[in-house]
Chain A
Amino acid sequence: MNRKVTTIFTLIALLLAAACQKETATPPGNENDWVYNPTPYNLEVPAFFPLLDIPSGNPMTVQGVQLGRMLFYDPALHHEGARACASCHVQEFSFSSDPEVLPHINLAWNSAFLWDGKVQGSLEDIMLFEVKDFFKADLGRLEAHPDYPRLFYEAFGEGGITYERAAMALAQFERTMASGNSKYDQVLRQEPGVFLTDQELNGYDLFFTEEGDCFHCHGGILFTDNEFHNNALDAEPEVGLGAITGSPFDRGRFKTPTLRNIELTGPYMHDGRYATLEEVIDFYSEGLHASPTADPLMKALPMGGKHFTGEEKSALIAFLKTLTDTSYTTNPSLSSPF
């Protein structure tokens, strides 16, 4: 009898303690004051960009985007607190930096991610991979944080902090990372006083005809086809997409990178082998290597390349530079919130 009573008392004590602990762990500003009433976010899609599929389970909200932006810039997301997404994905360089770091630009229109296509699906899918598998985020650290429990509540309501919600917030922020204000875009929109120079126009003609034939892979308004190709870099290509599919026919196929802001994202190719755009164009001009999976769209493969003249090379580069959008790399709403 006595024992039972003691047990009950102990239990009550424990419960109280637990409740107290929760009190102390709860950040300043009473939980009861938190409000879940997210404001719809009005996403501006650049002119001529394709229709954007936003998953119905993750509508854009001001609170979600803001939370995503904080997580992107906060080392607290990393399991050791060692680095933030933004340590490698640096705005000034179109959210790229070291060799191999893929930029973040218009990823909302992508459906296949990473050089070898390891993650396919929506932005939510790739962000879940980044948060959980790559950063091995420590949710306890976020729960103990003075602000995040409230910010997650304001963005997503009851249900606490989860990997999925962190990924959803990052995906919302990523959807705001749209670049469509390069000189090329301004010309497309026929903005007064903006024209391509003769050289840029020659580059455009090369790019969008079979003479240069870049557009079959890097074409359209996004300057990527969102597919995987072996662009004939090597006679013995690295495995690429083949590592994911296991198919020998996918050996050497890599994600086609967008050429928007390409001026800012060197060095180039999945292994960063080319330091400059000049080297890249030299490769397409003279440096192709045959291999069993070299893409048929590398139409000049039997001749080793397109054999551009010096003028043509400069024209192509001049055109590529019209895809630079510095209003994107300086956009204050994409910068660090801290």
Chain B
Amino acid sequence: MAKVFTLFRAGLLTLALALSFGCNEEEASGSLLHLNFNHNVGAQELGLNDTWYNSAAGHPFMVERLKYYTSNFALENAAGERIVIREVHYRDVEKPDTRTFEWKDVPPGEYTALSFVFGLDEVVNVDGGLPNTTTNINMEWPLPGDQGYHYMKFEGRYDLNGSGVIKPFNLHTGATGNNQNYVDVYLPFSHPMKLSGGTWQLNLSMDLNEWLQNPNTYDFEVFGPMIMANQNAQQVLKENGGSVFSIGAVEKE
């Protein structure tokens, strides 16, 4: 019975929304927002395999693969009201079609901040929490006693203190035990984004250096190549994760 009532209410709400949209068609049309993810290391654009970068801990490193999930994107206005899409987005730097996602019908408004979850929240990050596709299966976090999926696979090699001794690193983040370890990313716009229809491009950047330096220095040599069950390493990366993303240009087409 409660269910029927909820459905009924949902129906009314839709009707109300439809009516309100219908009244002032011009202003009230939703916007199409393209969120484009770019990846760089400091000032340099990320190149897989072929470029060595400097890390704060003093070991030059290169990147072979970068795959991760983001979820729960939200836009916030000055009054603190938020519109949220509870969707999960997978990104693989080697697959260009995963670098953009479309947020359709964003209601008109003046938005002051974008927020999202880097990784997966506790609702989704359970075994079988994501659709059963080969991509998601490859991200599984099968450690006995743990749950869910890798949030990130950031894999490459480092050159120990620049000595020529090459070693592997694997920044695999995810939940360990009761530590969820996902990152709440909060990005205020420098000028409010006024949406009133049309198509928009919103460019975001992930600076890989920030995983390794801010506020904590992450030293590949200290944590070693295996960190899935190492909550200290997970905690450092979680804390560094807050400054990894930044908003670049916001443009209307």
Contacts and interface: CB of A to CB of B under 8 A. Distances in A.
Given A51-B131, A51-B133, A210-B228, A299 B170 contact: yes
B168 interface: yes
A247 B50 CA distance: 10
A41 interface: no
A59 interface: no
* Most chain B CB neighbours (cut-off 10 Å) among A111, A298, A301: A301
Interface string B101-126: 00000000000000000000000000
B179 interface: no
Interface string A94-130: 0000000000000001010000000000000000000
Contacts of A299: 168, 170, 225-226
Chain B: interface size category: 20 to 34
B137 interface: yes
A208 B127 CA distance: 14
Given A296-B170, A299-B168, A208 B137 contact: no
Contacts of A27: none
B138 A208 contact: no
Nearest to A249: B49
B218 interface: no
A301 B168 contact: yes
B229 interface: yes
Interface string A281-320: 0000000001010111111111000000000000000000
A226 interface: yes
Contact of B134 (A205, A222, A292, A294): A222
Contacts, number: 72
B137 A220 contact: yes
B156 interface: yes
A222 B48 CA distance: 27
Interface stretch (B24-32, B140-148, B195-203): B140-148
Contact of A208 (B49, B65, B131, B142): B142
Interface in A185-241: 205, 208-210, 213, 215, 219-222, 225-227
Contacts of B64: 249, 295-296
Chain A: interface size category: 20 to 34
B180 to A, nearest CB: 20
Contacts of A294: 168
B166 interface: yes
B143 A208 contact: yes
A302 B167 contact: yes
A49 B50 CA distance: 36
A296 B143 contact: no
Interface string B172-187: 0000000000000000
A246 interface: no
B144 A209 contact: yes
A220 B138 contact: yes
A50 B168 contact: no
* Most chain A CB neighbours (cut-off 10 Å) among B48, B167, B225: B225
Contact of A296 (B137, B140, B144, B155): B155
Contact of B170 (A49, A51, A249, A297): A297
Nearest to A299: B225
A48 interface: yes
Contacts of B143: 208-209
B134 A290 contact: no
Contacts of A221: 137
B157 interface: yes
Nearest to A300: B225
Nearest to B143: A209
A289 to B, nearest CB: 13
B138 A50 contact: no
B169 interface: yes
Nearest to A302: B167
B199 to A, nearest CB: 30
A221 B140 CA distance: 10
B32 to A, nearest CB: 27
B55 to A, nearest CB: 15
B168 A298 contact: yes
B214 to A, nearest CB: 23
A192 B50 CA distance: 53
* Most chain A CB neighbours (cut-off 10 Å) among B48, B132, B137, B166: B137
Nearest to B128: A48
Nearest to A109: B134
CB-CB nearest 9 A-B residue pairs: A296-B168, A220-B137, A299-B225, A249-B49, A210-B226, A208-B142, A296-B155, A225-B138, A50-B132
Given A295-B168, A296-B157, A297-B168, 20 more contacts: A48-B132, A49-B132, A50-B132, A50-B134, A50-B137, A205-B144, A209-B144, A210-B226, A210-B228, A219-B140, A220-B134, A220-B140, A221-B137, A247-B49, A294-B168, A296-B170, A296-B225, A298-B168, A299-B168, A302-B168
25 contacts: A50-B132, A50-B133, A50-B134, A51-B131, A208-B143, A209-B228, A210-B226, A210-B229, A215-B140, A219-B142, A220-B137, A221-B137, A222-B137, A226-B134, A247-B49, A294-B168, A295-B168, A296-B64, A296-B65, A296-B156, A296-B168, A296-B169, A297-B170, A299-B170, A301-B168
